[in-house]
Amino acid sequence: SSLEVNKNGKLSSGEENKAFFRRGVIAWQQHFQAQDIDILLVTTPKSGTTWLKAILFAIENWTRYPDTNQHPLLVNNPHDLVIFLELQLYVDKQVPDLTSFTSPRLFATHLPFSSFPESVTCSASKLVYLCRNPMDTFISLHHFANKIRPRSFGPNILEDVFDMFCRGVCLCGSFWDHVLGYWKESLEKLQKVFFLKYEEMKEEPIIHLKRLAEFMGCPFSLEEETLGVVDKILRLCSFNHLSSLEVNKNGKSLTGVENKAFFRRSEVGDWKNYLTDEMVDCLVQIGEQKFVESRLKF
């Protein structure tokens, strides 16, 4: 498990963390009642969840908060505005009170598609899926795990966690199976699953932001586009802006993790600074094997 700190910030053993995660997963699988207009952000850990949470929140609430100088994202970490079902909402209570969530509700999860309850799969709720190339995902995960790991445990060794990553021993199972599950669903159900890669969002943010807004059912009007709304949202949610905010430099979100741990370098290709040629070959080979039929590539 990459989590060594529980939601109260207390140290806990790997087993306690797994139990904590499992409890949240089972509770939301059993008790979450999806509404047709719900939107769930689904991500592989460390693929840019924080960024997409901010973006989806800003898109969905644009008419409520059109002033970026008075925006909730200036004083709240994105993880406190778009809540993780299994890591936050369904942890304390098996059946939490969701009446305070205004529709359309926006939630987040790391669960693989195969673990989704029928309440979601059989409803008209929509899924925005975000993933990132396995090399950067792994390096980001490694840094994050070491940041939140109690000092007394000592740092994780890159080679050890690399081996686990390759074997699919991760919080949400195999990285490749996770991606493949949503890729297949997105091909079959275009209206249900929006499949996005971190690298695509970095390269063409304007195009993808507009596509996201359309998918979510709140496309920007011509007038909004003329007023530069897309640009404003992108600037509001940018890495430089969010990571410079006081709340993200010193605060702690409901996840129990310090907000600054969610911001590191935000670069595509940072893996080149850490992975050996053998490690890269290994990840490429697993990807080729897993994605052979789908022709999915990073």
The catalytic site residues sit at 110
Task: Select 229 or 261, whichever has its Cβ closest to ligand A3P.
Answer: 261
Task: Select 180 or 237, whichever has its Cβ closest to ligand A3P.
Answer: 237
Task: Select 45 or 287, whichever has its Cβ closest to ligand A3P.
Answer: 45
Query: Applying CB under 6 A, which of residues 60, 86, 136, 185 lies at the interface with ligand A3P?
Result: 136
Minimum separation from the CB atom of position 88 to ligand A3P (A): 14
Task: Select 35 or 270, whichever has its Cβ closest to ligand A3P.
Answer: 270
Beta-bridged to residue 197, according to DSSP, are 131
**Pairing of β 126-131 and β 193-197:** parallel
Task: Select 186 or 238, whichever has its Cβ closest to ligand A3P.
Answer: 238
Binding to ligand A3P, residues 196-255 (CB under 6 A): 237-239, 242
Q: Are the C-beta atoms of residues 57 and 146 closer than 8 Å to each other?
A: no
Minimum separation from the CB atom of position 150 to ligand A3P (A): 19
Question: Per rule CB under 6 A, is residue 174 in the interface with ligand A3P?
Answer: no
Query: Applying CB under 6 A, which of residues 172, 197, 266, 283 lies at the interface with ligand A3P?
Result: 266
- Give me the residue label for tokens 């109260």: 8
Mark 87-126 with x for binding to ligand A3P (rule: CB under 6 A) and - for no binding. ----------------------------------------
Query: Applying CB under 6 A, which of residues 270, 274, 280, 298 lies at the interface with ligand A3P?
Result: 270
Q: Name the residue among 77, 64, 104 with its Cα closest to residue 237.
A: 77
Question: Per rule CB under 6 A, is residue 143 in the interface with ligand A3P?
Answer: yes
Residues 6+ apart with CB under 8 A from 136: 198, 267, 268, 269, 270, 271
Q: Rule CB under 6 A: which residues touch ligand A3P?
A: 43, 45-51, 136, 140, 143, 237-239, 242, 262-266, 270
